[in-house]
A and B are shown apart, each in its own frame.
Chain A
Amino acid sequence: GENVEQHPSTLSVQEGDSAVIKCTYSDSASNYFPWYKQELGKGPQLIIDIRSNVGEKKDQRIAVTLNKTAKHFSLHITETQPEDSAVYFCAAPTSYGGSQGNLIFGKGTKLSVKP
């Protein structure tokens, strides 16, 4: 089955700096990789995702890169702001018979952006 490892578990940056969170996965058949942001006391919110037919996707200050050969993908946040402070989760699907299964989540990264 799929196994997702996420690093680091905590990350503290100064406002305006960049933040990078990395995840590795084990199932080479996985083809969809979302990133979620969870603020305290709220449900996870999808912020960006990438599919295996592209290597990079960008949405304003957020970007995700995917290396299928190495089986890792990363979240990049540039020009960080205090409101970016939250817990970020990466995920990858299990695959059953080629169709998408349940998402397997990393353990999360607590990002703190200091003003």
Chain B
Amino acid sequence: GAVVSQHPSWVICKSGTSVKIECRSLDFQATTMFWYRQFPKQSLMLMATSNEGSKATYEQGVEKDKFLINHASLTLSTLTVTSAHPEDSSFYICSARDGTRYNIQYFGAGTRLSVL
């Protein structure tokens, strides 16, 4: 299957700092990428949908100024958690949709964010 690379896999930061997470589609061009948040033992919660070259669409309740998303190219999307606080600690997962393969959605390995 197609590969989606997500980095870093694990990050620890101090409260008040910003953290950037990268998501890359390695062998296909992804016109659409998604960012999810997952709490322990729960399902994936969609945070936002990003289309290359345009502003991201955020789900209700997700602060767009808190979670900055950039999708500058067909293979790269970034999520920046700004002024992180302990309540932002979570597992963040990106996903990319392959428009050439029936819109199949592939996921990255996830990023574990711990804010101290």
Contact = CB atoms under 8 A, between A and B. Distances in A.
A14 interface: no
- From DSSP, what is the main secondary structure of chain B's interface residues? strand
Given A34-B104, A43-B6, A102-B49, A107 B110 contact: no
B68 interface: no
Given A42-B109, A42-B110, A89-B44, A102 B34 contact: yes
A45 interface: yes
Interface of B: 1, 4, 6, 34, 42-44, 46, 49, 93, 102-110, 112
Interface residues of A, number: 20
Contacts, number: 44
B106 A46 contact: yes
* Top 7 A-B pairs, shortest CB-CB distance: A43-B107, A43-B110, A43-B109, A44-B107, A107-B43, A100-B103, A105-B43
